[in-house]
Structure 1
């Protein structure tokens, strides 16, 4: 009877703790990993089960050939702020549940539109994307299930799943140029009268040789808010890029003069570039033919 009373008390205590939402240790603690690739932010949230003497991908523990939530407790989620290429296929921007189907020599990686899906509730009709991965053996045993990113460049990375002596990876890629251009256009749309935003947007387009006429309009609006050596120099570079060296030269010269008298601590970093541009523009401005003395006068 005493054991029954104690069991009842224990159950009541657990129920009270759950109702009170008190944070307690979990056998599969939650984790979050975030990575920026170029202009894209990726975040994975998941729970991390540990082996505790068990062997995964067996009939008794995370069986092969069956859908797995790729973690514990709740659905594993991934959020991408822009469209993302996964093994060469497009995953639209958004939040998805990650599931996998482990197999002997392959693993299916699934991105589900049902963000709270469990193994029992999974429906292939909810798939946003499916790709195949090839698992590989690793020498160092991973006790606690791990998801991370590696092999990072300015536009690519690998998404890795590691547990026990197995690692499976998916290749990720983002279109940095398209994303950056979209960010520039949105920034100007959001703040069309901000001189600094207009100058930065025009500078970005200039660096990419993109939409120069539009960029000229942006930098003119920035200059209208207040001339400085930076926006004048940007305008001179845009005009030069358009082949208008005669118009670009006086602007670069004015930028140099303004910079030298600006007391701006950053000007020395611009000075050499402005002087080189002036030399380049000067060499490309067509020479004005000299008028010969007496030319056009009638002989007496």
Structure 2
């Protein structure tokens, strides 16, 4: 029994010693870690990296050698620069993307550069995102390579990644350190991603809401989606499903889809039905849209319809003023603006009408 007890005590002592031996203090690193992210459309890009300082050192060609190098550690004998310090710099894409015009699948990648002395560099994204720095770089794990041109910038003491030039479908992320910057262009097929997301979600709770089908059809209409698919979605919103309800909004979307499909008669029929259900303000806004699209005669017809349906109400006179102004008949426009001014419901409305009266008197179009 004593031997067993002694053995247990020795084992506990060994385990305690081992734990103490391998315990590490959670202390800050010299090059602190950072993460920068950007949403493009509905997709996310994030970069995690460590931020060394210049600290009066000669960076390019010295601290960061040009070309591929044997760093004297790890398995790589021809390693690129790790685009930071410490662990692997990584970049994560929530959806399939394009980097410098080349396709890259959704996921996380190691981000490296082969820096060259002639103001160029080769961007390398590696499938190996977990190794330490570039010491274990393996070219067979490359997901993509792209040649880029570096630029000269004001001094950045700390290595910095920033997203700039953010557009609807793309953004440029730039690594800047010292006076050198490495721009990378990232883009997504936002329309395809948004519509694929809707298709997936429409099989769940989101598919029970009429407004989601309307929104998807409208997005496809205005962003280059499949118009026949959009027509099917808006038809579902209008009729045939337990959530369907015919409204001015979905009939107007249907009319626009049909118009883009070249089915002009069907589009007119859908829009006529929409206008029969429209409020005074919906008719007014549709008339303004027609003017914006250069359809002056149709706009005049729509504003006149509003007068017939809503006699004596101030927005109809405001609409007719816009219709006459679009045709260049400022005398008639002024007549309707004066009527609108009398009937305007509040000071803010009166102020807007008066501003347009002043413009018409100077011979200026109010649209």
TM-score when scaled to structure 1? Answer: 0.73
Contact 1:252–1:278 (8 Å) recurs in 2: no
> Residues of 2 paired with 1:205 and 1:137: CA distance?
41
Q: What aligned pairs does 1:190-209 form with structure 2 within 5 A after superposition?
A: 190=204, 191-208=206-223
> Residues of 2 paired with 1:267 and 1:13: CA distance?
78
1:40 to 39, 43, 46: 43
> Is residue 2:141 matched to residue 1:126?
yes
- Where 2:246 maps in the other structure, the secondary structure is coil
State the 1:46 CA deviation. Answer: 0.9
Report what 2:247 is aligned to: 228
Contact 1:249–1:278 (8 Å) recurs in 2: no
State the 1:15 CA deviation. Answer: 7.0
Report what 2:54 is aligned to: 51
> Is residue 2:85 matched to residue 1:72?
yes
Distance change in 2, residues 1:250/1:156 (3 Å): closer
Contact 1:199–1:222 (8 Å) recurs in 2: yes
- Corresponding residue pairs, total: 262
State the 1:199 CA deviation. Answer: 0.8
> Residues of 1 paired with 2:98 and 2:197: CA distance?
19
Q: Which runs of 5+ in 2 are unaligned?
A: 1-18, 70-79, 303-367
State the 1:214 CA deviation. Answer: 2.8
Contact 1:84–1:92 (8 Å) recurs in 2: yes
Higher alpha-carbon deviation: 216-225 or 71-80 = 216-225
Report what 1:298 is aligned to: none
Report what 1:217 is aligned to: 232
TM-score when scaled to structure 2? Answer: 0.61
CA RMSD of aligned residues (A): 3.4
Higher alpha-carbon deviation: 180-189 or 224-233 = 180-189
Q: What aligned pairs does 1:244-255 form with structure 2 within 5 A after superposition?
A: 244-255=263-274
Higher relative contact order, chain-length normalized (CA < 8 Å, sep 6+): 1
Distance change in 2, residues 1:277/1:243 (3 Å): farther
Q: Which runs of 5+ in 1 are unaligned?
A: 1-11, 284-300
Can you list the C-alpha shifts for 1:153-212, whole angstroms capped at 9, x where unaligned? Answer: 323333322111222223333334443443444444454443111111221233356433
> Residues of 2 paired with 1:267 and 1:72: CA distance?
61
Contact 1:107–1:132 (8 Å) recurs in 2: yes
1:160 to 170, 174, 182: 174
> Is residue 2:282 matched to residue 1:237?
no
Distance change in 2, residues 1:235/1:127 (3 Å): same
> Residues of 2 paired with 1:90 and 1:253: CA distance?
45
Question: If each structure's helix is expressed as a fraction of its own residues, which one has the higher value?
Answer: 2
